[in-house]
């Protein structure tokens, strides 16, 4: 791919390092890794403080991206790829954890809106100079509203490993996410939102 390519950028947010690999804050990384596995690519190319993989999907060029920085610096790496590939905000989908949705829920959100207190989203808005990118939110629930986590501080909760049933719920949603990504790339945001955001069991 080169600068003239019209790239669709799919960004997963998380923290690098084995100690964070299975934590709730790394839900974005986990989904990106699973999507890449399903499409037969390895997110192993390292450049501009990020790991990436490029492929052709549904007659479009798609780049999977995982910043190799801590969450609060994610935007710096993403901005380099956006600048190089000249990616419009409407062709950027950021996959990240969300405290205000129950575990296993997924929601595709159009550009705009606030950061929801998410350090990765805040960094992207800062470095990209816009909040018009698409967001795929992955529910992790809040401590005190999720069984077994009452009284746990939020910062400790998001950096703690998923319980097995929570991880299973996340993995169960990847089928819907994969289909939604196809709709997004081929047909646009409205059709993808209709699929992903309909009632989930």
Residue by residue, DSSP assigns 98-139 as ETTS-TT-EEEE-S-S--TT-HHHHHHHHHHS---SEEEEEE
Active site residue 96: no
Q: How many CA atoms lie within 13 A of 111 on its CB side?
A: 15
pLDDT given for residue 4 in this prediction? 41
pLDDT of 89: 87
Residue 139 bridge partners (DSSP) = 98
**pLDDT the model gives residue 11:** 93
pLDDT of residue 115: 65
CATH architecture of 7-196: 3-Layer(aba) Sandwich (3.40)
Distance CA 91, CA 75 (A): 16
Give dist(CA 66, CA 194) in Å, integer: 26
Any idea where the domains of the chain sit in the sequence?
7-196
Considering the entire predicted model, what is its pTM? 0.88
Kind plus residue range of the DSSP H or E element containing 13: none
Q: Which residue has the tokens 């996959």?
A: 95
d(CA 156, CA 89) in angstroms, rounded, equals 32
Which candidate in 25, 46, 118, 172 is catalytic? 25
Residue 148: strand, helix, or coil: coil
Phi, psi for 155 (deg, rounded to 5): -65, -35
Parts of the chain with a pLDDT under 70? 1-5, 115, 145-151, 199-201
Residues 6+ apart with CB under 8 A from 5: 61, 85
Distance of CA 184 to the CA centre of its chain: 14
Please tell me what DSSP assigns to residue 143. Answer: B
């Amino acid at each position: 791919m080169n600068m003239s390519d019209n790239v669709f950028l799919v960004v997963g947010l998380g923290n690098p390092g084995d100690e964070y690999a299975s934590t709730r804050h790394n839900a974005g990384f986990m989904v990106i890794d699973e999507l890449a596995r399903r499409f037969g690519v390895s997110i192993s190319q390292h450049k501009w403080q990020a790991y990436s993989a490029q492929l052709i999907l549904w007659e479009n060029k798609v780049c999977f991206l995982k910043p190799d920085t801590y969450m609060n610096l994610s935007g710096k790496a993403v901005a380099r790829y956006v600048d190089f590939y000249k990616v419009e905000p409407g062709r950027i989908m950021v996959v990240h954890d969300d405290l205000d949705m129950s575990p296993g829920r997924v929601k595709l959100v159009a550009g705009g809106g606030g950061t929801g207190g998410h350090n990765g989203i805040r960094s992207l808005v800062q470095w990209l100079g816009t909040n018009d990118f698409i967001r795929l939110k992955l529910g992790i629930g809040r401590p005190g509203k999720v069984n077994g986590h009452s009284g746990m501080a939020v910062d400790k909760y998001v950096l703690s490993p998923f319980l097995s049933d929570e991880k299973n719920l996340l993995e169960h949603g990847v089928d819907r996410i994969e289909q939604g990504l196809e709709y997004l790339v081929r047909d646009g945001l409205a059709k993808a939102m209709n699929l992903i955001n309909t009632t989930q069991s």
